[in-house]
Structure 1
Amino acid sequence: MQFLNVQSPWYQAAIYQDLRQLLPISAWQTWPDTEQMTALLPKLTCNSHGKSIQFVCQSTLDACPDGIYYEQRILESGAVPTRPAHWHDLFNALIWCLFPKAKSLINQQHCDDIAKYGQKKRTPRRNALTLFDECGVIIAVADDHLSQALKQHEWDALFWQQRDAWGNTIRPFVFGHASYESYLQPFIGLCGKALCLPVSADFFTLPLLKQYQALDQQLSLALSADLLADNQPLSPLPLLGVPGWWPANESREFYLNQDYFRPAPKRS
């Protein structure tokens, strides 16, 4: 079976448009190997210890087990374990290509906590980093009213009343590779974890690659300031509600499903 299928969500869905535009995935007729994935990384992509990032086949590592934990391996050698023909790991590699600075810093912060508290203790920061790494969606937003609407679960205002703002003063950028994987088989209930990053209005006039580079830098600075010390900055984001990402959301009635578009929890 060919890797690309023009009828598949992977090829058609709008959520993957940035990947198709910025990375030469349309040239892949079969599953890419780790060398092909590594070749997509920006030049001189390194971890926080200056080791060049490279994707390494998991089966190669399994042949010579050394007991090194996933995050520690990336920090010590730059090698990112990658399973062959595996969507989850492919999307992880593609996110490394688009957000290399932030991915490197997340790796460093995981290892910092492991060194301090041990591998088995899951700190609030590691939980937040993992949640964002798997399910995160950066919301670049130039209007704080839209940020507040998202955080307050004002879904009709955010997704319908301000529909024209999407792409002009607010835009989603998927960071979580598990969110990309889950969208291959979309379902009502599919949610990401939104992290709002304020930007200027000029941001939306930048070429798409420049937008990603700017967000990578901004996110890295925010993480350095321990933005994700816990998961408080993260907000639920019903992915099928994002304008343009799901055909049914062209109707306002779609947003009336409160089992999916849930009101904000009442404060006690």
Structure 2
Amino acid sequence: MRYVAPAREAVDPSVFALAPLNGWLDYADWLHGVEWPLIDELNARWPINARERFVAQTRELLDDGLHYEERIAQRGLIATREANWHDLFNAMIWLRYPQLKRALNRQQVADVASFGRRERSRAQYAQTHFDEAGVIVTLKDPSLLELWDRHDWHALFWQRRAAWMDGSILMHVFGHALLEHALMPSKLLVGKALVVMADSQAHGEESVSCCANAIVDGRWLRDPLELRPLPLSGIPGWHVANVDETFHRAAACYQPLREGRSYPAPLRLSR
């Protein structure tokens, strides 16, 4: 069933104090306000030298004949539906992670040129999955990746619960659909993750650049199966029920590893 975000006036303001939305408080005026932010307000947050701009998605705009991604690449115009949660969160992602967004756009446009505007490649599906539900996870302990790759969710989220709070794991939520789904705190969220292994001194921002470079170079996001599922609702503070061990034994977001399923080696952050 297709997800329909709640109306603005129906959103419980308390959701903005919960993960992942509590990580976006620099946009609190757009999220908490009674009125939707205007396109001009979104554009006012760009750096002066940014080439992209948000523009209202109108019939006139769409009649230019360009694919959504082509319009960004050629004209710097990001078609944005007004009074729409999905597109508001997309704008916020653009403003916070422009390097990643530009990397995805570059690869999407290359595949549109190769496959046309109606067909989609495996790489395009991977890029779209990451754009909608992507998470960048930096791990500083290889044993955590072993648990993750086995889908040993009880061990990863309960037995190693402290790792999600002590800096052993760093996360950047990139998928704007994840933020939209988080408007309903009862929903169980699952992200599509790119994983970066790093040393104890690494910062999450370094991992973002590492992933963006790998996407631009064509080394990453060439197939949806590269992405590791990550049940975000198991992370401390992401779902009210996960303080109880029983959640980590039976939560619907915890899917077993399919027979024959394996994941590629993570990126490695080199200094």
Structure 1 residue 260: Cα displacement: 2.8
1:215 to partner: Cα distance? 3.4
1:172 aligns with 2:171: yes
Question: Do the aligned partners of residues 180 and 9 (structure 1) sit closer, same or farther apart at CA in structure 2, a change above 3 Å counting?
Answer: farther
The AA in structure 2 aligned to 1:161 is Q
Structure 2, gaps ≥5 residues long? 1-6, 262-271
Q: For 1:101, which of 99, 102, 106 is the aligned residue?
A: 99
2:215 is the alignment partner of 1:216: no
- Deviations 1:35-84, CA, capped at 9 Å, x for gaps: 21122234433xxxxxx11110113x536722211111011111100011
Q: Normalising by the residue count of structure 1, what TM-score does the alignment of the two structures yield? A: 0.85
- The equivalent position to 1:255 in structure 2, one of 248, 255, 268, is 248
1:62 aligns with: 60
Q: Say which of 223, 236, 240 aligns to 1:230.
A: 223
Aligned to 2:49, which of 19, 44, 50? 44
Hey, what's the Cα distance between the residues in 2 that align with 1:152 and 1:248? 23
> Which residue in the other structure is 1:184 paired with?
183
Match of 2:37 among 32, 41, 47: 32
**Distance between the aligned counterparts of 1:39 and 1:266, measured in 2?**
50
Task: Kindly report the root-mean-square deviation, in angstroms, between the aligned alpha carbons of the 2 structures.
Answer: 2.4
CA distance in 2, matches of 1:10, 1:62: 36
Q: What letter is aligned with 1:225?
A: D
Give the count of matched residue pairs: 252
Between the aligned partners of 1:234 and 1:27, the Cα distance in structure 2 is: 29
Structure 1 residue 143, shift from structure 2 partner: 1.4
Contact 1:38 1:55 in 2 (8 A): yes
Name the CA distance, whole Å, in 1 between partners of 2:86 and 2:97: 16
In structure 2, how many angstroms separate the alpha carbons of the residues matched to 1:64 and 1:229? 28
CA separation of 1:28/1:253 partners in 2, compared to 1, >3 Å: closer, same or farther? closer
TM-score, with structure 2 as normaliser = 0.84
Structure-2 separation of matches of 1:6 and 1:129: 29
Contact 2:13 2:32 in 1 (8 A): no
Please report how far the alpha carbon of residue 188 of structure 1 lies from its aligned counterpart in structure 2 after TM superposition.
5.1
- Unaligned ranges ≥5, structure 1: 46-51, 205-210
Q: Tell me: CA distance 1:74–1:153, structure 2 relative to 1, closer, same or farther (3 Å).
A: same
Asked if 1:118 is matched to 2:110, the reply is no
Decide whether aligned partners of structure 1 residues 27 and 105 sit closer, same or farther in structure 2, where only a CA change above 3 A counts: closer
Deviates more, 1:9-18 or 1:236-245: 9-18
How far off is 1:258 after superposition?
5.6
Is the 2:103–2:213 contact (alpha carbons within 8 Å) kept by the matching residues of 1? no
Aligned to 1:207: none
Are 1:199 and 2:198 matched, yes or no?
yes
